Chains A and B, each alone.
Chain A
Amino acid sequence: MKALVIAVLLGLVAATMATECGILQRLKVKQQWAMAYGTGNDRIHFGQAIWKGIFHKEPKTKELFERVRGDNIHSPEFIGHVVRVLGGLDMCISLLDDDATLNAQLAHLNGQHKERGIPANYFDVFEAALMEAVPASLGRCFDQDAWKACFQVIAGGIKSA
């Protein structure tokens, strides 16, 4: 009986740890991101993979990217856009362990996204695409729970009214 209680408690601890974006999860996400994000042309391919996922999951999102040639993800205009967005995400992830500066950055991004009138569910589409592209880029050892929890911190800050 006692053992069962302990087992249940341990299970609860594991469950809570897995779903929050604590400092340990932040460190792990930062490290996994740096690996997946890469450098140079690898970074461009990584970004294109994310947008292939987004357009596949929700074709209507393409309409948002007309200005940057969403009809052709290989165009220089679209690549320029992809690296801008990923650069923004990169900043947020790298600031996950500096709350004050992270919040200042999220407030800045919040303003930029409001201007564009992005439907809130598009963040879920982005998240789903990211959760496929990152593990594909890493190859192994992807911590989905940590990623989902920490992505919520970032997306929540960008979406907040």
Chain B
Amino acid sequence: MMLCGIFLLTLGLAAVSGSHDEHCCSAEDRHEVQAMWSSIWSAEFTGRRGAIAQNVFHDLFHDHPATKDLFKRVNVDDENSPEFKAHCIRVINGLDMAINLLDDPAALEKALEHLSHQHAEREGVKADYFDYIGDSFLHVMPHVTHCFNPSAWRRCFHRIADSIAHGLP
């Protein structure tokens, strides 16, 4: 708990986060999330990555149809098209990058800053959408990972997503 407070303070996030508990992604959480994630997202298993990525976006569009318009450029009208599949995998590989940087907070911050700029350039991306896709992950992950720990996942996902969404409308 103490560590979490220091961690957030270092990042200058303490002011914007209402509750330390909710936003903290402790060392224990990180290792839990990294273990869950590495068991499903290995380069060896192309089909597995594609299936998870497509299902996350499918869930997002089902619950929040308005988000679909953002992905017209990558052929979202055909969710099985190579363009859209490549897009889904790209997005989730971004998450893979962040999860694997959780142990290096300084580099993580720089990487997330970069992603934040990339998202700010895209018109129509709203901060809320990161909560929506977070929910989609919570729906999909338990189906593919053994011993899914939703609390650890939620805390670390928000640790990542909040930095990307920071500054978005």
Contact = CB atoms under 8 A, between A and B. Distances in A.
B107 A76 contact: yes
A5 interface: no
B121 interface: no
B44 interface: yes
A114 interface: no
Interface residues of B, number: 34
Contact of A30 (B44, B81, B97, B111): B44
A33 to B, nearest CB: 5
Contact of A41 (B43, B83, B104, B110): B104
A101 B44 CA distance: 15
Most central of B43, B89, B90, B111 by chain A CB within 10 Å: B43
B114 A41 contact: no
Interface stretch (A103-111, A115-123, A142-150): A103-111
A87 interface: yes
B43 A33 contact: yes
Interface residues of A, number: 32
Given A83-B100, A87-B96, A97 B46 contact: yes
Chain A contact residues: helix, strand, loop or mixed:
helix
A79 B108 CA distance: 9
B109 interface: yes
Given A101-B86, A104-B83, A104-B86, A77 B110 contact: yes
Interface in A24-42: 30-31, 33-34, 37, 39-41
B42 interface: yes
A91 interface: yes
Contact of A34 (B42, B93, B113): B42
Contacts of A103: 82
A33 B107 CA distance: 23
A95 B103 contact: no
A82 B109 CA distance: 14
Contacts of A104: 81-83, 85-86
A37 B44 CA distance: 11
B134 interface: no
A80 B86 contact: no
Interface of A: 30-31, 33-34, 37, 39-41, 43-44, 76-77, 79-80, 83-84, 87-88, 90-91, 93-98, 100-101, 103-105, 108
22 contacts: A34-B44, A39-B100, A43-B100, A44-B104, A77-B110, A79-B110, A80-B107, A83-B100, A84-B114, A87-B93, A87-B94, A87-B97, A90-B96, A91-B90, A91-B93, A98-B85, A101-B50, A101-B89, A104-B82, A104-B83, A105-B90, A108-B90
Q: Which 8 A/B pairs are nearest by Cβ-Cβ distance?
A: A79-B107, A80-B111, A80-B110, A94-B43, A76-B106, A104-B86, A104-B82, A100-B82
Given A91-B86, A105-B89, 10 more contacts: A30-B44, A41-B104, A80-B111, A84-B111, A87-B96, A93-B43, A94-B43, A101-B50, A101-B89, A108-B90
